[in-house]
Structure 1
Amino acid sequence: MPRQGLALALLLSAMTAHAAVEGPGRTQFIQAAPARGEIRVDGKLDEPSWAGAPSFEAFVQRFPTAGAVPSERTEVRILFDSERVYFGVIAHDSKPELIDRRLGRRDSSLTTDSVQLIIDSTHEHRTAYAFTLSAGGVQGDGLFFDDRNFTSDWDSVWDGASSPVADGWVAEFAIPLSVLRFPDVATQTWGFSVRRQIARLNEEIESVDNPRTSNATVSRLGHLTGMEGLKPRRAVELSPYLATRGILRPQFSDSAVPTPRLLDPTVDVGLDVKAALTSDLALNATLNPDFGQVEADQLILNLSTFEAFFPEKRSFFTQGLELFQPVGGSVGNVPQSLFYSRRIGLNTPILGAAKLTGTAVKGLEVGVLDALVTGPWQEHDEEHPDRRWRVHSSRPLHLGPNSALPGEPQPPTNYFAAVARGSVGQNSRVGGSFAAATPLVGGCTPEEAELDEEDQPAECLARGGMGAAADFDVKTSDSQYGVLGQVDASRTVGGLPERTLRDGTVLRPGSTGYGGYVRAGKFGGDGFRFEVGYDFSTPTLDLNATGFQRTQNDHSPRTWLRYQRSNGVGPFRALSLNLGGGSSWTTDGRGIHRGNWANFNGYVQLPSYDYVGLETGINFGGYDIRELDRTGIPLEQERNSFFLLFVETNGNRPVVLNAYAVVGHHERGPAPGAWGWGGEASLSLRPHPALETRLELNVDRTEFAPRHVDTLEDRRFLLANLQSNFISVTLRQQWVLRPNLTLQGYAQLFSDYGLYGPFFEAVSDEARTPIRFAALTPTEAQADNFYDVALNLNVVLRWEYRLGSTLFLVYTRSQQGLPTPDGETPPATLLPRRLFSGPATDAVLLKWSYYWTA
């Protein structure tokens, strides 16, 4: 074994040996009692069974003073029967008139008085369910995974109620056994804790000592026991839906011709299924899913050579996919991710999908997902649209006019992802994953590839690939020190005979690549922490058929030194200081320097519980191998620096402000240096417990070094400096009529413009010699300046008319500004010019679903 491999093996062995010791909750056992008779979930706790259940009150503070005695007393009682586990929490309060009972939509991040249950029912110290009730009766749920990470995307159907009492308030939960995974044993022992938030005191308390500095949650839980005779419920949950919508859209695809408009009515039916196959394995499936109630993606201006990342919002993909998250973070926050669910159904409708998640054997978690995207298409005669209605075999549960079908081929593709992760010791793990996008069409011939993209068949438009990875996340028993990472490989499948990446790398069907990343250091505890990391990818590593990979052809070492005082220091409630730096160069044998960077950021939490902080950084230049028209010719990058200030006020107030302002200096190559600036502000107003108004403003002015404008002959390029400007104004309005009846409104107005100049000519050679700024030649030329303006509207009425069953009424509008006529100069303004003269699409959706379980 190589010395490096032997050293890593010894380190893993030593760390996992220490990891076999449980956290501080190892000696804490909270007893549940059997329920005698019916339990009504009304927040009263007046049934006789509650009085006979053991009471637990030994809570400790998490914040602001870890380990201290809580300011207010809390009682917990637990009951169970053959169908549910019931939790009753009495949150005593010496000033009940000051309890924060503000309302919000389900799963919203409320800074109100609340109680959260954390339940590790498999008792594997890695994953735990979270159920939350606020003093106003608002429900929330989520999942802790990888011991320390949390997602609110997991949802389930359970009942809960809150009610006031003379000296506080009561939270009552009824969690169906069918929601939880647990072993089939005579007596259950689950990981368990209760967290309570006292809003006016900014105080968080918990039933087990679990400070914010621990870098762990699930492995530090106490125990819930005393539940005998519980049998895992292999329940089946069905949620059929019916959705009808009317879409009013421009008849012509040319944005300069916004009228006339056509009305496209459509009808969809579908089904969601959840089933417990065993006590530890759950199946989720969906047929013809509809996500019309999901808020539209935020409008952005992306002038980089990298793909923009957008978060997943579709319920089927957000629920139960925590196991598919990459080690060390979430998709978009790590350099290489095998599975990015936004790839599925992005352009082609989803016919059906299914995922299987759970525990195969004790200590081994598994997840499998499969989805098929396919749909009809039809060439359009926009002058004479085909208004006939037809059911298509590739999308049999959708009905609408032929003119509403896509106008280009929709390559049917099967997406598959599988992951398995096994526990090592108490709170460490190793795992492996595989993902594949398989086009269900033949190959693209060279002759077909030569056609214009709009004329190419589905075989050429298909983009497939597969990836595999092994990962590890090993920590010491206290979770403070650790090493984590991933090694991965990819293979290109189907599509064009050749495809050129932004850095000039050519991919062909069968091309393979490999890469990975590693992080090691001290991740928890007060005081100093450190982290070292390294990212690597070969030029032909391409995980983007199924995953998210921002770049390839890259070596990137980095390091961070941190100082954290999460429990306060001196006059501050918390303090964080971070100093880091890194470098990057290519892996293609040329060793092209892609840049160096350094960054310092920090914040303090004031005695008022407000945050203030700053960040400053510098990029030291290097070469950009992605800018020059997929040639891979390195172009010198500018040096730039920035300084940022931010403030975040206490979220418990009726008026909350989060804002930052940044200024940066850009050297801009041969052009004179220039200053850019930007900022973002979010103002939230809560004039009434049931109302919230949030106004967001984002502005930016960036000065770019020479950018590619055109490719000339003989490896010559036309370049130009670019000044880009944008403004985004977003309004979010929420009205909570009742916790199960909400009205939400969303509106974003976005505009941008860009100005090119001065212009330069650059030249390279067959050896792809790097182009330096000093070699650029000033020239006279023109480029198309740009101006865009758009408006997105979304209004959603959500009514959960019975537990798990919902009715949605949704209105959306997408409005684009009328493009600048040929021959005219685009306006250099952020004002919304010609907005309402441009093309617009309006849609109204009525969606009904019904929840049934057996």
Structure 2
Amino acid sequence: MKSVRLICILALLCGELYAQSDAQLRSYETTMVQSPPVIDGRLDDAAWDLVDWAGDFIQRQPEDGAAPSQDTKFKILYDAKYLYVGIRAFDLEPDKVVRRMSRRDGFEGDFVEINIDSYSDKRTAFSFTASASGVKGEEYVSNNGDDWDSTWDPIWYLKTSLDDQGWIAEFKIPLSQLRFADKEEHVWGIQVMRMLFRKQERSYWQPIAQDAPGWVHLFGELRGIRGIKPQKQLEIQPYLLGKMEKSPAEEGNPYATGSQSDLDVGVDAKIGLTSDITLDLTINPDFGQVEADPSRVNLSAFQLFFQERRPFFLEGKNTLNFGLTESVAGGQFNNDNLFYSRRIGGSPSYFPSDEDIEYVDRFEKTRILGAAKVTGKNKNGFSWGLLESVTNKEMVEVQDTLGGRREVAVEPMTNYVVGRVQQDINQGNALIGAMFTATNRRLDEDHFSYLHKSAYSGGVDFTQNFDDRNYYLSLNAVVSNVNGDEEAIYNTQTSSERYFQRPDNRRKGVDSTRTSLSGTSATAAIGKRNGNLIFQTGGTMRSPGVELNDVGFLVQSDYISQWTWAQYRILKPFSIFRWVRFNGNQYLTWDFGGVNLQKAINFNTHAQFK
């Protein structure tokens, strides 16, 4: 602890070597076009002559505030259906432009990007990226730049070309892919960026220093948009999937004959109910082509967290996010969340194991009969999300030792409901929100007594920014309740999340007669975002009875933890370095019986050479 205080004192004595400058807010004036440009990556259409070039980009990396080594200019037009963006990336050595092909959202090689805050809420933006090779990338930006969701995949059009002056990117973005209010005149936030790959140089139209306390709220302005109406979105994607698998046959096993075939049919749909509300629907969704999870070996008693990869759940996932503890210092509690979509449609939890069963047919995932999700945000800064999903009662065929066959239920029919609301206050300087989840199972088989019949959780969160968002305070509180047979609640008490049966548990031990269990969680943190010295300190707790794993994610309960993280950073290049960061972390953890579980401190340094 003395070492941490000494480092903080020395850093404060050194002072701020570099501070956020009050960059002038830039503005670009666009105009409506009657004959739109052809998207061919040339920028030679007469329509582009209707507006002026914008340029004078400022370097942000590696040298904050310096002039870029290559010039960049852009133009923006619009009509009733589309926004058109043309970016000219000048290069004195065009043969050195790095044009790498990659998958969508690869962001490799030279690229340009435009961020659009069409909500004008100073917190969220839609990002469109074009690589010099023509690869498209998109991200949904939320929490004022703290979260960049690359799983957002809108429909838009792009062409790029290379010439003796550098390279060109020409965008055509449907207004239906953006969200904006229904009014006569709009002022949107925009930011345009260029990445010069060979120099690892990023330059921006609206200067924003590396140590700025945020991102979206510092954008420049796009003016001149008048008379457009929010566009309703309609996308329907039916599918038909047939598959056949060949494998070595297993003698005597009627379910391993060496050949298996299957046929699936379903539909996904996205409907823009209004300019502010989007409805996502799925019936028997096609998850067969989803990228596989990476292989991981778990040598602990605690569950592993896997990223969601299924398209239906990825769309708008930030809206339904409620992290219990988002500590910069890290920790086992950072993945805890009220909603973990991998719980829906996962592997069945029961395996037939009666003594007379000899062979069991193969089963993989619980079928999602149908799911619907409504997400939206209005012009007053109120955002919401509601998800409803029903999973099938899964049956599997088994063969007994006498050759008879029957079906056994391996997963009950289950209903999941998740709701989330948030309200921006004072253009995002404050944020208040709440979330609710409910899981209800139809336990119509005796052997399902190990499962919770119902599980509920709810939480509220609040964030307040101070001093032009340089400082912040964040708070949240959560309650949970699970109900079921005595076996289900006994399993919950003795699971790896809490181990009530452990000999060193000073609190009340296992109660085998309980049919419900309730608990709470809370977190408080304060921090500083800008300048050479930044920090976060806070505390989090999980009461012994808190349980979220029916539709959320919880690693462990029964602890109270405190952390402090501080970083002293030099972001301007000096000597042989582009930047240097010095970090210090400190942790203390107790259980609810007062036993100290952890005392830790560490220091680390990160640097990038010129």
TM-score per shorter chain, which class? 0.7 to 0.9
Equivalent position of 1:165 in the other structure:
163
Q: Measure, in 1, the Cα distance between the counterparts of 2:367 and 2:249.
A: 22
Equivalent position of 2:543 in the other structure:
538
Measured after TM superposition, the shift of residue 151 of structure 1 is: 1.6
User: Matches of residues 380-779 of structure 1 in structure 2 within 5 Å?
Assistant: 380-381=398-399, 408-427=409-428, 428-441=430-443, 448=446, 456=447, 458=448, 460-461=450-451, 464-494=454-484, 496=488, 498-499=490-491, 500-502=494-496, 503-505=498-500, 506=510, 508-522=514-528, 524-587=529-592, 590-607=593-610
Cα distance change, pair 40–579 in 1 and its aligned pair in 2 (3 A): same
Structure 1 counterpart of 2:220, which letter? G
- The residue matched to 1:147 in structure 2 has which SS? helix
Structure 2 counterpart of 1:432, which letter? A
Q: Measure, in 1, the Cα distance between the counterparts of 2:417 and 2:267.
A: 20
Q: Measure, in 2, the Cα distance between the counterparts of 1:175 and 1:491.
A: 46
Measured after TM superposition, the shift of residue 596 of structure 1 is: 1.4
Measured after TM superposition, the shift of residue 185 of structure 1 is: 0.6
- The residue matched to 1:284 in structure 2 has which SS? strand
Equivalent position of 1:346 in the other structure:
346
Measured after TM superposition, the shift of residue 592 of structure 1 is: 2.1
The question of whether the paired residues in 2 share the 8 Å contact of 1:137 and 1:161 is answered with: yes
Q: Measure, in 2, the Cα distance between the counterparts of 1:361 and 1:493.
A: 40
Equivalent position of 1:320 in the other structure:
316
Equivalent position of 1:730 in the other structure:
none
Q: Measure, in 1, the Cα distance between the counterparts of 2:339 and 2:598.
A: 28
User: Matches of residues 365-376 of structure 1 in structure 2 within 5 Å?
Assistant: 365-376=383-394
- The residue matched to 1:273 in structure 2 has which SS? strand
User: Matches of residues 98-109 of structure 1 in structure 2 within 5 Å?
Assistant: 98-109=96-107
Q: Measure, in 1, the Cα distance between the counterparts of 2:403 and 2:532.
A: 68
For residues 574-606 of structure 1, the C-alpha deviation after alignment (integer angstroms, 9 at most, x for no partner) is 11111111111111xx22221211121221101
Structure 1 counterpart of 2:386, which letter? V
Measured after TM superposition, the shift of residue 329 of structure 1 is: 4.4
The structure 2 residue matched to 1:279, chosen from 275, 291, 297, is 275
The structure 1 residue matched to 2:289, chosen from 280, 293, 296, is 293
Equivalent position of 1:358 in the other structure:
376
Cα distance change, pair 461–208 in 1 and its aligned pair in 2 (3 A): same
Cα distance change, pair 84–494 in 1 and its aligned pair in 2 (3 A): farther
Cα distance change, pair 494–211 in 1 and its aligned pair in 2 (3 A): farther
Q: Are residues 1:114 and 2:111 paired?
A: yes
Q: Measure, in 2, the Cα distance between the counterparts of 1:300 and 1:155.
A: 28
Aligned pairs, number: 551
- The residue matched to 1:241 in structure 2 has which SS? strand
Q: Measure, in 1, the Cα distance between the counterparts of 2:440 and 2:26.
A: 50
Cα distance change, pair 253–533 in 1 and its aligned pair in 2 (3 A): farther
Structure 2 counterpart of 1:498, which letter? Y
Measured after TM superposition, the shift of residue 278 of structure 1 is: 1.2
The question of whether the paired residues in 1 share the 8 Å contact of 2:452 and 2:489 is answered with: no
Measured after TM superposition, the shift of residue 245 of structure 1 is: 1.4
The structure 2 residue matched to 1:247, chosen from 224, 227, 245, is 245
Equivalent position of 2:303 in the other structure:
307
Measured after TM superposition, the shift of residue 211 of structure 1 is: 2.4
Measured after TM superposition, the shift of residue 160 of structure 1 is: 0.9
Q: Measure, in 2, the Cα distance between the counterparts of 1:252 and 1:352.
A: 35
Cα distance change, pair 123–469 in 1 and its aligned pair in 2 (3 A): same
Q: Measure, in 1, the Cα distance between the counterparts of 2:280 and 2:205.
A: 33
Q: Measure, in 1, the Cα distance between the counterparts of 2:524 and 2:247.
A: 49
The question of whether the paired residues in 2 share the 8 Å contact of 1:24 and 1:221 is answered with: no
Equivalent position of 2:95 in the other structure:
97
Equivalent position of 1:779 in the other structure:
none
Measured after TM superposition, the shift of residue 536 of structure 1 is: 0.6
Q: Measure, in 2, the Cα distance between the counterparts of 1:250 and 1:601.
A: 52
For residues 199-234 of structure 1, the C-alpha deviation after alignment (integer angstroms, 9 at most, x for no partner) is 011110111112232241111111112111100011
The question of whether the paired residues in 1 share the 8 Å contact of 2:62 and 2:201 is answered with: yes
Structure 2 counterpart of 1:513, which letter? G
Cα distance change, pair 212–600 in 1 and its aligned pair in 2 (3 A): same
Measured after TM superposition, the shift of residue 407 of structure 1 is: 5.8
The structure 1 residue matched to 2:396, chosen from 378, 386, 407, is 378
Q: Measure, in 1, the Cα distance between the counterparts of 2:282 and 2:427.
A: 35
The question of whether the paired residues in 2 share the 8 Å contact of 1:128 and 1:145 is answered with: yes
- The residue matched to 2:397 in structure 1 has which SS? coil
Q: Measure, in 2, the Cα distance between the counterparts of 1:266 and 1:416.
A: 30
Measured after TM superposition, the shift of residue 510 of structure 1 is: 3.2
- The residue matched to 1:225 in structure 2 has which SS? strand
Equivalent position of 2:137 in the other structure:
140
Cα distance change, pair 292–215 in 1 and its aligned pair in 2 (3 A): farther
Equivalent position of 1:662 in the other structure:
none
The structure 2 residue matched to 1:234, chosen from 217, 232, 235, is 232
Cα distance change, pair 104–385 in 1 and its aligned pair in 2 (3 A): farther
Q: Measure, in 2, the Cα distance between the counterparts of 1:178 and 1:599.
A: 49
Q: Structure 1 or 2: larger strand share? A: 1
Q: Measure, in 1, the Cα distance between the counterparts of 2:105 and 2:400.
A: 44
Structure 1 counterpart of 2:222, which letter? L
For residues 427-461 of structure 1, the C-alpha deviation after alignment (integer angstroms, 9 at most, x for no partner) is 3311111112221335x8xxx4xxxxxxx1x4544
The question of whether the paired residues in 1 share the 8 Å contact of 2:161 and 2:167 is answered with: yes
Measured after TM superposition, the shift of residue 267 of structure 1 is: 1.2
The question of whether the paired residues in 2 share the 8 Å contact of 1:25 and 1:221 is answered with: no
Structure 2 counterpart of 1:467, which letter? S
Equivalent position of 2:504 in the other structure:
none
Q: Measure, in 1, the Cα distance between the counterparts of 2:260 and 2:443.
A: 30
The question of whether the paired residues in 2 share the 8 Å contact of 1:114 and 1:197 is answered with: yes
Cα distance change, pair 101–88 in 1 and its aligned pair in 2 (3 A): same
Q: Measure, in 2, the Cα distance between the counterparts of 1:253 and 1:124.
A: 65
For residues 653-699 of structure 1, the C-alpha deviation after alignment (integer angstroms, 9 at most, x for no partner) is xxxxxxxxxxxxxxxxxxxxxxxxxxxxxxxxxxxxxxxxxxxxxxx
Measured after TM superposition, the shift of residue 463 of structure 1 is: 6.1
User: Matches of residues 176-255 of structure 1 in structure 2 within 5 Å?
Assistant: 176-248=174-246
Structure 2 counterpart of 1:100, which letter? V
Equivalent position of 2:7 in the other structure:
none
Equivalent position of 1:673 in the other structure:
none
The question of whether the paired residues in 2 share the 8 Å contact of 1:291 and 1:314 is answered with: yes
